[in-house]
Amino acid sequence: MPARILTPAEIGGIVRRTRKAAGLRQYELAGTAGVGLRFLVELEAGKSTAQIGKTLQVLQTLGCTLDIVPPPEDKSVRRE
């Protein structure tokens, strides 16, 4: 299955839909996830500079998973 790269807006939409489906208000999720309300509002809005650590905290709190699949090893790729 080919990997799909999500945009910040798509991640924000997933967070928003999942939060609403769980019946949580933004301030409730922010408090439970240990992030600020402003951060959560900006994450849901698709802010491209959202901190990855905090984003992962929110996703984990919602029960979302994120899979990162490295490319197959290719000897033609230059390693540093």
**pLDDT at 1 (0 to 100):** 52
Position 44, amino acid: E
List the domain boundaries for the chain: 8-62
Angle at 66 between CA 1 and CA 31, to 5 degrees: 160
**Helix, coil or strand: residue 37:** helix
Contact, 33 vs 58, CB < 8 A?
yes
pLDDT in tens, 33-42: 999 999 999 9
- The CATH code belonging to domain 8-62 is 1.10.260.40
Place of tokens 């809005």: 45
Tokens standing for residue 4: 């799909």
pLDDT in tens, 16-37: 999 999 999 999 999 999 999 9
* pTM (2 d.p.): 0.84
